[in-house]
Amino acid sequence: MPSKTMIDALNRQVLMEAQSSQAYLAMGSWAEIQPGLKGVTQFFFQHSEEERMHMLKLIHYINERGGVAIVPALKQPQLTFDSLKKAFETLLEHELKVSESINSLVEIALNEKDYATHNFLQWYVMEQMEEERLARECNDKLELIGDDKSGLYLFDRDIMTLDKQAPGKSA
């Protein structure tokens, strides 16, 4: 069974994934009431579902390994954004924090000589690499587009086709 240190750290990650899911849910809800952002709305809502799946995967792992998963209380996420660009910048910042957190979990697993958890976490390492790539791609595109309305139209139309080859896609 993983050590208490490891279980506590995994439970902190449960909270982080739950907060990510809430944050993207709020982005989706914000996008839904902006004119012409159907694709982006779908993207955020789908992303929120994926984060929930990441949370569930952790909950099941903790419980199956003899720990007790803690379903956390959540803070209200940011509800409004000055622009689509700002929303995607926030998304990228958030993903970078999640990656840091996953990396520190990997470090704890190694320190605890918990190779099973180390192995379990590799899925998250790969997932974060892909999520960072996707978030950067969206930010780069929005930077290029600037205030060009036809560019924004195409961004919204194509966002769901941006390739995501993360393990989360098939899990």
- Site for ligand OFO, rule CB under 6 A: 17, 20, 51, 54, 95, 98, 127-128, 131
Nearer to ligand OFO, 51 or 152 (CB): 51
What is the rounded distance in angstroms from the CA atom of residue 171 to the CA atom of residue 159?
A: 21
How near is the Cβ of 166 to ligand OFO at its closest, in Å? 8
**Position 76: which residue type?**
Q
Q: How far is the CB of 95 from ligand OFO (least distance, A)?
A: 5
Cβ pair 77, 94 in contact under 8 A: no
Q: How far is the CB of 19 from ligand OFO (least distance, A)?
A: 9
Q: Which is nearer to ligand OFO, 20 or 22 (CB)?
A: 20
State the nearest-atom distance from the C-beta of 167 to ligand OFO, in Å: 11
Provide the H-helix boundaries in the chain: 4-32, 38-64, 84-111, 115-145, 149-158, 167-170
What's phi and psi for 113, nearest 5 deg?
Answer: 50, 40
Based on CB atoms, which residue is closest to ligand OFO, 131 or 152?
131
